[in-house]
Chain A
Amino acid sequence: MFKIVDKQVLNPTTIKMVIDAPLIAKKAAPGQFIILRVDEKGERIPLTISDSDKENGTVTIIIQIVGKTTMLLNNLEKGDSILDFVGPLGKASELDGYKKVAVIGGGTGCAIAFPQAKALHIAGAKVDMIAGFRNTDLIILEQEMKDVCDKLTVMTDDGSNGNKGFVTNALKENIENGADYDLVIAIGPLPMMKAVAELTRPYNIKTIISMNTIMVDGTGMCGGCRLTVDGETKFACIDGPDFDGHLVDFDEAMRRSTTYKDIEYREMHSDDCRLLNKINK
């Protein structure tokens, strides 16, 4: 069992949890993730290691509440435990040797992009962060991001923070104004990562994206996380989750990410749903 040592609500649909997991904390590197299972009858879901503390032996995860498992997770409080928690899985991001980097986060993706920005910043690279949210109420980690970059731009889709537009608008502006990026990292919803990759392609700027595919084991056994990169089949859990955004078949990945859309909808709205029973309890 893995104890929740802290829980914070970041915005109405996003929570942060600090989990006691000393072995994982010791090894975790930016870009890696864990897989957890809340209870005996739960799904295994992947979540990025947003931060880790070797001394205290804790791992931080930031969770957007989107479906069953994340709701069950949200029902847990500080002091409760999670049944299974395995990691660090996936390859660590390769962040050595870059001088000027744009790190872009979309929504909860900011939580996943944060450790990369932090690592680059500590390594001495110049880091511009661009964060996008639907509206100003959803903004998370603003101070944390500010602390690990040279310039933070926060965009909102509806302009409610006074800065209307998508992350790609801000990125384009930075590039056209002469920001000489040798790397762009984009993490967020698939359409956002695709848009960033399309934007940087003509400028020939290396672009790394993080694939949040469906997963089961996270060790290369099920193939559920497969995607096509440069015409080849790759497994996000062992070959990634980072990939070259210019080579990923985003359309296929976007289709595959909808695999359980109908099933989830049905389960969440049926009367005998375990989740609803739990919440109502």
Chain B
Amino acid sequence: MPNMALKKTAMPEQEPNIRNKNFEEVSLGYTEEMAVSEAQRCLNCKNRPCVNGCPVNVPIPEFISLVAKGDFAGAYEVLSSANSLPAVCGRVCPQETQCEEKCVRGIKGESVAIGRLERFVADYHMKNFKGSVKKAESNGRKVAIVGAGPAGLTCAGDLAKLNYDVTVFEAFHTAGGVLMYGIPEFRLPKEIVQKEIDMLKNLGVKIETNMVIGKVLSVDELFESGFDAVFVGTGAGLPGFLNIPGEGLIGVYSANEFLTRINLMKAYLDDYDTCIIKPKNAAIIGGGNVAMDAARSAKRLGAENVYIIYRRSEKEMPARLEEIEHAKEEGIIFKLLTNPVAIHGDKDGRVEKIECVEMELGKPDESGRCRPIVKEGSNFTIDIDVAIVAIGNTPNPLIRTTTKGIEANKYGCLVVNEESMQTTREGVYAGGDAVTGAATVILAMGAGRKAAKAIDEYLQSK
């Protein structure tokens, strides 16, 4: 008998006023009882609408029905056949616009908590799995993966399972990409990401950090040194700025810098050397996940007032629903329909105020979102000492400017054949944010998987 409760089984969380002072995970995860009870809300629909909403077509009703029966290990088998980073996706996928959006239970009431169940199953596996992964036998063919984000790691794992000799080259001193340096600990504990990476290492994947491809070695040199194919998963790391007066003041950060100092370089822990300005009053410009993460991190560093400045309304915010809700609970102040026009500093060049204008929404533009229009003369200022710009990232030019034969579009995104993920150069494949521009973990993962399959086919045929 299905559980006909209209609402999702609530997930235990740290209290807002406690968690906004620490960096520990906000959501605590389901217990076994909660997971079984939530799984019983799934109707096991024959036409599986939810599966179509998932970019990698996780067999949702199949894994959930095993959870309902209490067979968590079996559920993991099913889940991990389609998703190689379930502990990550269960936490960070924008479920409300993907799998859960399509769930029939969402028509009357709330959808099944697919993401939470996915997280439960993955965490259960990590905690209880005692066996060891078998190191794959090498078939003697070498593949190089550039960038250790979700796209590169997924591609590496899939190829290792197909017996390729895989080496991942990562520019930073730590693998994981945005999962390590961007998304904060309180949303995605780094230990979980590290476990996924360790699992790949056990599979036989080699990871070389401190390797900026395009500088230390070029793609051509990778081929010369014996690699048979290359996958480029370098992400979209180049931060955009507003180009308004005052962006050169002390205390203006890109979200990338602010979050990297906190997540990767652990500026919030006293025993690390990393410098960061701990804000008293911070303004974050933008409305995506990156902006929410920066805002909530600023709060956790001790800021009294943290403002999200976004030029459209809440409806248009690209951030995950859960992040917006969590941010509000934690006391982040939303300044919607507001756009910054200048940042003002004191005599030493430190940020003092941000000047904004009010906006109103006009007709929808080509993206389908309403175009914001300035209300003339509505200028006002907010006192701040740190401003964090989170208005989007574009792909880094390093690979495309140092590799012959690789084409990019006008936004700097690498051009690939959508079926094979091959770039305009034979043997070179690409996927993830480097191809799509800033997108999602699950799309990057899906691209890595697709490319692994194509690389296998290409090398088999060679």
Give A residues with C-beta under 8 Å from B: 23-24, 27, 37, 41-44, 68-69, 72, 83-89, 216-224, 226-228, 233, 238, 249, 252, 255-256, 258-260, 263-264, 267, 272, 274-275
As a 0/1 sequence over residues 212 to 240 of chain B, the CB contacts with chain A under 8 angstroms (1 = contact) are 10011100000000000000000001110
A221-B273 contact, Cβ under 8 Å, with A23-B217, A226-B248, A259-B250: no
Would you give the shortest CB distance from A175 to chain B, in whole angstroms?
A: 32
**Cβ of A24: which chain B residues have Cβ within 8 Å of it?**
216
**Cβ of A41: which chain B residues have Cβ within 8 Å of it?**
266, 271-273
Q: In the complex the two chains form, is B210's CB within 8 Å of A85's CB? A: yes
Q: In the complex the two chains form, is A221's CB within 8 Å of B215's CB? A: no
Say yes or no: is B171 at the interface (Cβ < 8 Å to chain A). yes
Q: Identify which of B113-121, B257-265, B330-338 touches chain A.
A: B257-265
**Cβ of A43: which chain B residues have Cβ within 8 Å of it?**
265, 273-275
**Cβ of A89: which chain B residues have Cβ within 8 Å of it?**
212, 215
Give B residues with C-beta under 8 Å from A: 171-173, 209-212, 215-217, 237-239, 241, 243, 247-251, 253-254, 256-257, 260-261, 265-266, 270-277, 348-349, 396-398
Would you give the shortest CB distance from B269 to chain A, in whole angstroms?
A: 8
A274-B260 contact, Cβ under 8 Å, with A24-B216, A217-B171, A217-B172: no
Would you give the shortest CB distance from B398 to chain A, in whole angstroms?
A: 6
Q: How far is the CA of A224 from the CA of B252 in the complex (A)?
A: 9
* Nearest neighbor of B174 in chain A, beta-carbon distance: A84
Q: How far is the CA of A68 from the CA of B257 in the complex (A)?
A: 20
Partner of A84, one of B173, B247, B266: B173
Q: In the complex the two chains form, is B238's CB within 8 Å of A87's CB? A: no
Q: In the complex the two chains form, is B265's CB within 8 Å of A255's CB? A: no
Q: How far is the CA of A44 from the CA of B174 in the complex (A)?
A: 13
Q: How far is the CA of A85 from the CA of B210 in the complex (A)?
A: 7
A223-B275 contact, Cβ under 8 Å, with A88-B215, A88-B216, A252-B248: no
* Nearest neighbor of A86 in chain B, beta-carbon distance: B210
Closest 10 A/B residue pairs (Cβ): A255-B349, A222-B257, A223-B254, A221-B237, A86-B210, A260-B275, A84-B173, A252-B248, A223-B239, A224-B257
A44-B265 contact, Cβ under 8 Å, with A84-B173, A219-B237, A256-B248: yes
**Cβ of B239: which chain A residues have Cβ within 8 Å of it?**
221-223
Would you give the shortest CB distance from A1 to chain B, in whole angstroms?
A: 11
Partner of A221, one of B216, B238, B275, B277: B238
Q: In the complex the two chains form, is B171's CB within 8 Å of A219's CB? A: yes
Q: In the complex the two chains form, is A84's CB within 8 Å of B260's CB? A: no
A sample of 26 cross-chain residue pairs with beta-carbon separation below 8 angstroms, ordered by A number, consists of A23-B216, A27-B216, A41-B271, A43-B265, A43-B275, A69-B273, A72-B273, A87-B212, A88-B215, A89-B212, A219-B396, A220-B238, A220-B398, A222-B254, A223-B239, A223-B241, A223-B254, A224-B257, A233-B243, A255-B348, A258-B250, A258-B349, A259-B250, A259-B275, A260-B277, A274-B271
Q: In the complex the two chains form, is B210's CB within 8 Å of A84's CB? A: yes
Q: In the complex the two chains form, is A220's CB within 8 Å of B397's CB? A: yes
**Cβ of B248: which chain A residues have Cβ within 8 Å of it?**
226-228, 249, 252, 255-256
* Nearest neighbor of A259 in chain B, beta-carbon distance: B250
Q: How far is the CA of A249 from the CA of B265 in the complex (A)?
A: 29
Q: How far is the CA of A123 from the CA of B251 in the complex (A)?
A: 43
**Cβ of B172: which chain A residues have Cβ within 8 Å of it?**
217
**Cβ of A221: which chain B residues have Cβ within 8 Å of it?**
237-239, 256, 260, 396
**Cβ of B254: which chain A residues have Cβ within 8 Å of it?**
222-224
Would you give the shortest CB distance from A122 to chain B, in whole angstroms?
A: 23
* Nearest neighbor of B269 in chain A, beta-carbon distance: A41
**Cβ of A216: which chain B residues have Cβ within 8 Å of it?**
257, 260-261, 265
**Cβ of A228: which chain B residues have Cβ within 8 Å of it?**
248
* Nearest neighbor of A24 in chain B, beta-carbon distance: B216
**Cβ of A274: which chain B residues have Cβ within 8 Å of it?**
271, 273
Q: In the complex the two chains form, is A255's CB within 8 Å of B260's CB? A: no
**Cβ of A42: which chain B residues have Cβ within 8 Å of it?**
272-273
Partner of B173, one of A83, A267, A272: A83
Q: How far is the CA of A223 from the CA of B237 in the complex (A)?
A: 10
**Cβ of B349: which chain A residues have Cβ within 8 Å of it?**
252, 255-256, 258
Q: In the complex the two chains form, is A223's CB within 8 Å of B256's CB? A: yes
Q: How far is the CA of A238 from the CA of B395 in the complex (A)?
A: 14
Q: How far is the CA of A42 from the CA of B241 in the complex (A)?
A: 28
Q: In the complex the two chains form, is A275's CB within 8 Å of B398's CB? A: no
Q: How far is the CA of A258 from the CA of B275 in the complex (A)?
A: 12
**Cβ of B212: which chain A residues have Cβ within 8 Å of it?**
86-87, 89, 218-219
Q: In the complex the two chains form, is B257's CB within 8 Å of A223's CB? A: yes
A255-B249 contact, Cβ under 8 Å, with A84-B210, A216-B265, A220-B396: yes
A27-B265 contact, Cβ under 8 Å, with A43-B274, A220-B396, A238-B398: no
Q: How far is the CA of A43 from the CA of B216 in the complex (A)?
A: 21
**Cβ of A263: which chain B residues have Cβ within 8 Å of it?**
275-277
Most buried by A among B171, B248, B270, B271: B248
Would you give the shortest CB distance from B149 to chain A, in whole angstroms?
A: 12
